[in-house]
Amino acid sequence: MSVKTGMLRWSWAVEGQCALSLARARSPRPMRNMDGFSFAACCFLCVISAGGCSASPPQQHGDEEVILSLRKELGAGEQVQAALKKAEADLEAAETRFGPDAEETGFAVNALGMLCKASGQYDKAEPLLNRALAICKKTYGIDHQNTAISYNNLALLLKTQGKYAAAEPLYQKSLAIAVRVSGPDHQDTVVSLVNLAMLYDAQGRYDEARALLQRALTACEKTVGPEHGTTAACLINLALVSQHEAAYAEAESLLLRAKKLLTPLLGKEHPTVVGVDSQLATLYDAQGQYERAGTLHEKVLAIREQAFGKPHPSVAQALNNLGSNYEARGLNEKALDMYVRAVSISQKSFGRNHPVTAVYLNNLAGFLFKAGDIVNARSLYEQSLAILNKHTGPHQVQAIGVLLNLASLAYYSERDYAKSGRLSETAAQLCKDSLGPDHPLRATSLTSLASVRVAQGSPAEAAIKQHRFCKSQISEVGHLASMFR
């Protein structure tokens, strides 16, 4: 293989994924839970390094904000189950009182669906959100804000599951409705633009993502001004795409501009501003500026521990990112402590079988892999993959990443080239099916497969062809380029 350990890591960065709560028709100022524009949301950013693939904890990935608000009110992770039971009871009461297709029932269905998504119960969330959409279309018709929001929420769930092809037309319908109902520069339209853009970003369609985000930024500057929080959100999302394209100077400039805008509005220790610091730190990590990044990671951790208390998901995210930084600097004892603490917090906050926990398990496995603890590394990788396959499906980016990590382990530590080849081939096919044939992660999969074929003594021509394809793809995507160092 071209990489010594080939482990995939995920760092959490602010993303404009907006999970919206349905607005009652009589509400003049609808309340909306917007993943990205609240600046608390984080996406799985796949950062591939020569040291392998590990994942940084997510800043709250959209609906994880729901979990965090519940924690503030109710306590630890087990109270989430109580919230789910209450939402189920609310739905049953609405159905009894108003009927199965009433507006009030639609709100209850949507609320339960989004809570199921937040708790990682995607198989339960999908039929609920489909039902909420059907009620919206029946109650309000197609050209209504709530119908657009319902399309958005279902699309967000599908994207989380890696069902990008299914999510795209839903996001497009949400955007089209927002433009017709509210106008091309309205904030609802901006939300839809950002969500569709970040779907394209996840697929490696960076030019399309950038074009939509520029539209969103222009609309924000026109309607709310250049110093508004939503404008800052667009800047942060643009920075994320720039980072994925290895346009690091541009990404840093956008993030510093957003931070300068947000600090006087919110204060330097506000979670939103600290989230920008966290993204800056991952940007510096991506450039190998580990000391500079470490200082910011430590600052983020200290502020979050003081603001939220030590057993908090935001703290786990900071611990995971700092662990990755310590690992890159060779501070292995500190790194291990960070990774273990992150896993523990996530298990308590979200549960042992939540996709966020799976990401932390993957990162801890990557550290153990490098340390030579192959038995425990394999066990944790397999746990992580089982969780992701169950809750998000095998086509999701993180699941494919863990599959590649297992392929790397089989190749380097077990010399089981047949197994490594099977896993790499499966990953390449999953990428082609869900992400498209030109996605950088597919290039990584094919690189892995090419190396296996050479190790098996197969004719080198096909393997070299695959490898050249991979290098041509990866050369266009900076966050994967380090695979070839």
Q: Give me the pLDDT at residue 397, please.
A: 87
Q: Find the mean pLDDT for residues 346-355.
A: 89
| Residue 127 binned pLDDT confidence (cut-offs 50, 70, 90) | very high
Q: CB of 119 within 8 A of CB of 67?
A: yes
| Residue 294 binned pLDDT confidence (cut-offs 50, 70, 90) | very high
Q: Find the mean pLDDT for residues 227-233.
A: 91
Q: Give me the pLDDT at residue 118, please.
A: 84
Q: CB of 55 within 8 A of CB of 10?
A: yes
Torsion of the alpha carbons at 105, 107, 109 and 115, rounded to the nearest 10: -150
Please tell me the distance from the alpha carbon of residue 478 to that of residue 485, in angstroms, as a whole number: 12
Q: Of the segments 56-60, 206-210, 396-400, which one has the largest average pLDDT value?
A: 206-210
Position 148 pLDDT exceeds 50: yes
Q: CB of 374 within 8 A of CB of 413?
A: yes
Position 33 pLDDT exceeds 50: no
Q: CB of 217 within 8 A of CB of 234?
A: yes
Strand partners, 324: none
Please tell me the distance from the alpha carbon of residue 319 to that of residue 304, in angstroms, as a whole number: 10
Torsion sign over Cα 48, 49, 53, 57: negative
Closest alpha carbon to 105 in 62, 135, 63: 135
Q: 41-77 in b/e burial notation, b at 16+ Cβ within 10 A?
A: bbbbbbbbbebbbbbbbbbbbbbbbbbbebbeeeeeb
pLDDT in tens, 103-122: 999 999 999 999 998 888 88
Position 279 pLDDT exceeds 50: yes
Q: Give me the pLDDT at residue 76, please.
A: 44
pLDDT in tens, 239-277: 999 999 999 999 999 999 999 999 999 999 999 999 999
More confident residue, 187 or 9: 187
Of 56-70, 274-288, 294-308, 358-372, the least confident: 56-70
| Residue 20 binned pLDDT confidence (cut-offs 50, 70, 90) | low
Q: Give me the pLDDT at residue 466, please.
A: 53
More confident residue, 464 or 147: 147
Q: Give me the pLDDT at residue 364, please.
A: 96
The CATH class of 8-62+141-484 is mainly alpha
Torsion of the alpha carbons at 293, 298, 304 and 305, rounded to the nearest 10: 160
Q: Give me the pLDDT at residue 310, please.
A: 84
pLDDT in tens, 447-467: 888 888 888 887 645 555 554
- Say what the pTM is: 0.80
Q: Give me the pLDDT at residue 56, please.
A: 35
Q: Find the mean pLDDT for residues 67-79.
A: 45
Q: Give me the pLDDT at residue 370, please.
A: 93
Helix (H) or strand (E) holding 180: helix 164-182
Helices (H), 1-121: 64-74, 78-98, 103-118
Q: Give me the pLDDT at residue 450, please.
A: 86
Q: Give me the pLDDT at residue 28, please.
A: 28
Domain ranges of the chain: 8-62+141-484
